[in-house]
Structure 1
């Protein structure tokens, strides 16, 4: 599963007492591909759902039947740093400051364009969960850096810490040449001179795990005299 697909699986809680608007927001999210969406219509309902469910982002109205949404944001911030996106009919800079002070991450004023809301949600999720983008999908396999593993066909292969460092360095610069010296410095530090042969062994081992034909690699390419490149 790639990073965008992971984001679409995040659980979103909409807290707004306007039933029609809540339904519309949910429909917009579903049309974009989001799958796990819950609704609450008051602070107390929001607390109940947040307490029993793993919520990844909250869309929170300011004016609710049992108080201001800022109170719910403060409650959430006592235990969680999940993204909070405020919705409000108030077009007042002081309200935006109050929302951000209470723990909000972004602020959208009603009425709003559906695509604007979607872009704001996607941006918040990307920032909040960027550490989860450690899945690298190749034509031959899926590399999971978090779990130090490679899934190739029906095989599950383990990666060593050094192999993970090499792959991460190459992936950070994917589709560009990374010099042998730069990779060695990342792995072995400033005293890395003389580790070129060790790097070659690690590269060969990585190819055995990620390439369908290690002797004719499609993804981990040697650029003679320069270094290596991870082609995505």
Structure 2
């Protein structure tokens, strides 16, 4: 009997640790992907602005070229040579700007491809989110179930008033708090009108510990 109980506790602990580890790895990968996606968006916007500025300069250069190219027949030879030199300088600048514009357009295309790739990777990460931890083994050997109403005030940082508000939202168990994500905490803060954000890591760690202590004891 003791051996079976030990194996049961070890199995539950292994499931809990495996689920927590998978959830943590997934959250880290998703956060890195979002940060990289935000950086690519900023680079894309910067490249787009540079592209627009280059196009403006090209229009100005083109206008200058047309103006310099229309030399009056009454212009003397010396002024003609000066205009010709100015025209060559403008042409060189125009060609350099045109080349830079082409490079910027290629960079923008690369950013677009990278943005699309990161969006696909982020969508794939959301689809591969690990399923919540289940305690089917415990439910067959004990009368307690994971959905039993728990005392949320045992979680560090939650007083009786806050526990009542959470219960009014349907959050009544250690398991629910242990499975919270940062988005869940942000939404809870907004709904409850909390002045400061809840301590995400402390709530999750305390809730997970209390959950394991309550439902692994026999």
- Please, what TM-score do these two structures have when normalized by structure 2? 0.23
Greater helix share, structure number: 2
Larger gyration radius, structure 1 or structure 2: 2
> Structure 1 or 2: larger strand share?
1
TM-score under structure 1 length normalisation:
0.22
